[in-house]
Amino acid sequence: MRLLQCILTQNDCYKAGRTIKPKGVMVHSTGANNPNLKRYVQPVSTTPARADLLAQLGTNANGNHWNRGNLDVCVHGFIGKLADGSVAAVQTLPWNQRGWHAGNGTSGRSANNTHISFEICEDGLTDPAYFKQAYQAAVELTAMLCKEYGLDPLADGVVICHQEGYRRGVASNHGDVLHWFPRHGKSMDDFRSDVAAALAPEPAPAPVPKPDKNEEDNDMTCYKTLADVPEYYRAAVRKAVDRGALLGTGSGELNLSEDFCRTMTVLDRLGKLD
């Protein structure tokens, strides 16, 4: 998932400055046939790296983006298309700031006080390629937020969409995203399962088996008698035999490894066998 940041500092919600302790994530979709992030997200003159962000997002010539005052809505992020047509996510509020995304529910409570929110920019709802990319970005963004705040996406009420929030009495009566996901064979239960799968640790690599000692022994060069020892080792080995330091089996068999012969040769060159 490609994640940019363009905080909506001119939105009245940001200026209100209220914070929450996130207890869940609410998934929204915009309800308009416009998958372009620039429709909703634009940097202002004080935005860090403004020129770079504007180049990536594209310019909203109509000025109806959400980085301005006198709006009664604001979310923590958007998922949609950049200027080059690729799909990305943009963070638009600090994750722990109280957003204006859910409204009031029938219970008198609001998910604004508990849930981080993001909008998926809708297209005509019929393009499977765009849906697949946007859905995957939503899964990855939700998994990232669940990991950051220690949330279990499979726990009751943690990861919900706007419509599910309404059914729980904590959001206004909007249909998103249940009017869109099922068209492409996905439910919110699928979404929660996919988020949980994205959070699952990767399996540990299989341990590399240690070489069998017998196999190591079988691969070792072994000289049975002094005559079998190569000439460049033989003088040193003979000295060890002559001085009684090397007896072998007593029947002329020495069964020497090449490493041992090499060691004897080094010792001989150091004068240790004289």
CA 31 vs CA 201, 241, 268, 274: distances in Å? 35, 93, 88, 95
Q: What is the largest CA-CA distance in the chain?
A: 103
Handedness of CA 242, 245, 251, 256 (dihedral sign): negative
> What is the structure's pLDDT at 40?
98
Q: Kindly give the confidence (pLDDT) of every residue in the chain, 274 residues in length, as a single tens digit, with 9 standing for 90 and above.
A: 999 999 999 999 999 999 999 999 999 999 999 999 999 999 999 999 999 999 999 999 999 999 999 999 999 999 999 999 999 999 999 999 999 999 999 999 999 999 999 999 999 999 999 999 999 999 999 999 999 999 999 999 999 999 999 999 999 999 999 999 999 999 999 999 999 999 998 777 878 776 665 554 556 678 888 888 888 888 888 888 888 777 776 677 888 888 888 888 888 888 877 7
Alpha-carbon span 5 to 49, nearest angstrom = 10
Tokens linked to 213: 């000692």
pLDDT for the residue 261: 85
What CA–CA distance (Å, rounded) separates 266 from 70? Answer: 88
Asked whether the beta carbons of 167 and 105 are under 8 A apart, the reply is no
Domain locations in the chain as residue ranges? 3-199, 213-269
CATH superfamily entry for domain 3-199: Peptidoglycan recognition protein-like (3.40.80.10)
Give the closest residue to 23 by CA, choosing from 90, 110, 136. 110
